Amino acid sequence: MSAVIDEGAVPTGTSGPPTPATLPRTWTLTWHGVRTVAELELRQRIRSTRWIVALVVWFVVVGAITGLVWLSTRNVLEPFTNGAQVRNLQGPIMFGLVVFFVLFLGLLVAPTLSATSINGDRSAGTLAILQVTLLSPFEIVLGKLLASWIAALAFLVVSVPFIGAALGAGGTPVLAMFVCLGVLALLLAAVCAIGLGFSALISRTSGSAVLTYITVASLSALSPIVFGLTYLTTTHDETVRVWTVPTGGWTGDTPPACVWEDQVQPVTHTERTWWLLGINPFVIVADAAPQPKPETPNAISGDPLGSIRTGVRSLRAGPAHEIDQCWSERAQSKDYVSPVAERDVDTSAVWPWGLGANLLLGAAGVWVAVRRLRIPQRTLARGTRVA
């Protein structure tokens, strides 16, 4: 007992106030502070057995799906193609599906890692005692984000063998694995940050978890649905120039030469709505993955990531104003040269915008969380206790 009282070994308040440099403000950021919080969170999390169970379940599920994809793609493709083509088709399909499945599971798991982090601590009575220390709100939030992100990355690491196996099936550049893992990691960080924001905003843990899931579902499932629903509202009848067989038909055996005609056709302006797909995590991953090199010019593209990439980029370009519908001449002659210039579709990447949007949402989550952790508090959320 007396040891505490008599010992002056520890810096005390009486030995002078801490230097101003160590005094935190709201946005003070030190690695020491972030690490302290992250270590606390990870220690608390890793030692629970649930964690190991979750990783094992994840490993088994992703492994099972990879095996199933491999078996089914081989069975479907084998009757139609020879061995080399199977490799070219099966590899990219496997890679795409496994990466999508990992992303899907990641989007399911990531919210649970962070969406109850702050309000859960508040109801457990462990938040306020951390807030009154010399950790800044920014350090507490980033520490929690780092901890949940590291946990999410653990799931990604467990998936690496299976993504590697899909890579081994051929047809996919090795770079694709690293790019996809990198984009997956950043997307999961954004989801963790969004969850953190909701957990600071909502007092009930169930409420913040639900809102985080709704946000993730909006990004990944709702956005394509809304895109589909807006498809009709962006479709209008417009006059377009068409290179076509003259209206009125023909009498002889051979169709007349094609001419330019102005026709009124329904035109869909997807250049106004493509971003609904652009913010979709699956589209982001697909767009970011490097294009597999076709081994033969006429190789059938079975790459799901590539199809999505091509699709979203042409949707972004919107409708063409000149259309070649001169099917007759095209069919007759191999030397047919279309007068409609090859569409110069903007092939610049979509994913930086989508990833940026997701990361921006994550940054908003962090900002909200930091604002809510500032002390002393002026207002209290309804139904919350400070401590």
Partner 1 sequence: MPAVAAILELDHGVDGGRSASRTADVDPRTRAPPGRTQSLHSVPARGGRVPPYVVDMTDGPGQDVPTDAHDGIAVRGLHRSFGAVHALAGVDLDARPGRVTALIGPNGSGKTTLLLVLAGLLVPDAGHVRVGGFDPVTDGARARARTGWMPDTFGTWDSLTAREVLLTFAAAYRMPRGAAEARVAELLETVHLSEFADRPASVLSRGQKQRLGLARALVHSPDVLLLDEPASGLDPRSRVDLRVLLRALAARGTTVLVSSHVLSELDELVDDAVFLSGGRTVTAGTLVAAESARRSWRVRALSLAALTAWLTSVGAVWHPDADDTPAPTGFGPPRPAPDGPGGVLVDIADEEGAARLVRDAVTAGVALTSIAPAGGALEQAYLALDEERR
Site string for partner 1, 94-123 (x = CB under 8 A): ---------------------------x--
Nearest distance in Å: CB 33, partner 1: 8
Pairing of strands 235-244, 322-324: parallel
Nearest distance in Å: CB 206, partner 1: 18
Of positions 32, 236, 272, 343, contacts partner 1 by CB under 8 A: 32
Dmax of the chain from CA atoms? 115
The pairs formed by 242-248 with CB atoms below 8 angstroms and a separation of 24 or more are: 242/322, 242/323, 242/324, 242/325, 243/322, 243/323, 243/324, 243/325, 243/326, 243/338, 243/339, 243/340, 244/325, 244/326, 245/325, 245/326, 245/327, 245/328
Query: Which amino acid is residue 373, in one-letter code?
Result: L
Of positions 61, 64, 124, 360, contacts partner 1 by CB under 8 A: 124
CA nearest to 170, candidates 312, 288, 299, 351: 299
What's the Cα-to-Cα distance from 89 to each of 7, 111, 296, 305, 348, rounded to whole Å? 73, 34, 12, 12, 25
Of positions 114, 117, 131, 273, contacts partner 1 by CB under 8 A: 131
CA nearest to 358, candidates 210, 155, 187: 187
Task: Check residue 3 for interaction with partner 1 (CB under 8 A).
Answer: yes
Site string for partner 1, 135-154 (x = CB under 8 A): x-------------------
H or E element, residue 266: strand 259-268
Task: Check residue 18 for interaction with partner 1 (CB under 8 A).
Answer: yes
Under rule CB under 8 A, how many of the chain's residues touch partner 1?
Answer: 49
Pairing of strands 259-268, 322-324: unpaired
Closer residue to partner 1 in complex, CB, 13/249: 13
The partner residues of 112 in beta bridges, in order of sequence, read none
Of positions 31, 52, 64, 126, contacts partner 1 by CB under 8 A: 126
Closer residue to partner 1 in complex, CB, 163/373: 373
Distance of alpha carbon 365 from alpha carbon 106, whole angstroms? 18
Question: How many other CB atoms are there within 10 angstroms of residue 32's CB atom?
Answer: 10
Task: Check residue 371 for interaction with partner 1 (CB under 8 A).
Answer: no
Task: Check residue 375 for interaction with partner 1 (CB under 8 A).
Answer: yes
Nearest distance in Å: CB 30, partner 1: 8
Nearest distance in Å: CB 184, partner 1: 28
Task: Check residue 264 for interaction with partner 1 (CB under 8 A).
Answer: no
Nearest distance in Å: CB 110, partner 1: 21
Task: Check residue 39 for interaction with partner 1 (CB under 8 A).
Answer: yes
Task: Check residue 52 for interaction with partner 1 (CB under 8 A).
Answer: no
Question: How many other CB atoms are there within 10 angstroms of residue 60's CB atom?
Answer: 11
Closer residue to partner 1 in complex, CB, 17/249: 17
Distance of alpha carbon 326 from alpha carbon 244, whole angstroms? 4
Of positions 29, 76, 84, 125, contacts partner 1 by CB under 8 A: 125
* Contact present, 179 and 290 (Cβ < 8 Å): yes
Task: Check residue 61 for interaction with partner 1 (CB under 8 A).
Answer: no
Residue whose pair of structure tokens reads 């979709």 in the numeric block: 280
Closer residue to partner 1 in complex, CB, 53/331: 53
Task: Check residue 376 for interaction with partner 1 (CB under 8 A).
Answer: yes
* Contact present, 150 and 189 (Cβ < 8 Å): no
Task: Check residue 53 for interaction with partner 1 (CB under 8 A).
Answer: no
Q: How far is CA 188 from the centre of its chain?
A: 7
Closer residue to partner 1 in complex, CB, 131/223: 131
Task: Check residue 29 for interaction with partner 1 (CB under 8 A).
Answer: no
Nearest distance in Å: CB 142, partner 1: 14
249: left (phi over 0), alpha (psi -120 to 50) or beta: left
* List of residues contacting partner 1 (CB under 8 A): 1-5, 7, 9-14, 17-18, 22-25, 32-33, 36-37, 39-40, 43-48, 121, 124-126, 128-135, 375-378, 380, 386-387
